[in-house]
Homo-oligomer: A and B are copies of this chain.
Amino acid sequence: MAINRIISKDVAEVEPGLWSNCLRVGDVVYIAGLTSRDKNFDVVLGNDEYEQAKVIFAKIKALVEAAGGTMSDVVKLTIFVTDIANNKKVWAARREFFEGDFPCATLVEVSALARKDLLVEIEAVAHLGQGGRPATA
């Protein structure tokens, strides 16, 4: 095994010395807390939690696939929002990216994310090569 950094052309990387978006260790994939910043890491995409979460889940999908897996390999999501009253908007976005038995998830409201226009931050853990999460019975 080795620790490999996973990069996707569809997900902006920050400059060296900050963090990696995705590291794969054997079959385990760690994905950093991602937001809906654009490729220049400047503009925030999406005006509400639904739109921002869609951008974030698309990034998670791109990274998991770049690591050699699929969204069915994601087992854990940790979701931080700035207004939990809108949690159903995040749920709606999630339904567009997952099927069958969904990942385990935690969703809490924090007092602030890195910028005031960021409403959602999501991190993920995936286990590749295990056949994915089961389909819902």
Measuring CB to CB, which residues of chain A are less than 8 angstroms from any residue of chain B?
A: 1-5, 16-23, 25-26, 28, 30-33, 73, 75-78, 80, 84, 87, 91, 95, 101-114, 121, 123, 125, 127, 130-134, 136
Contact = CB atoms under 8 A, between A and B. Distances in A.
Nearest to A100: B16
Nearest to A109: B112
Given A30-B76, A95-B17, A111-B111, A106 B127 contact: no
A63 B112 CA distance: 30
A101 B133 contact: no
A76 to B, nearest CB: 5
Nearest to A110: B108
A113 B112 CA distance: 14
A130 B23 contact: no
B121 A108 contact: yes
Contacts of A136: 16
Nearest to A131: B2
Contacts of A78: 33, 106, 123
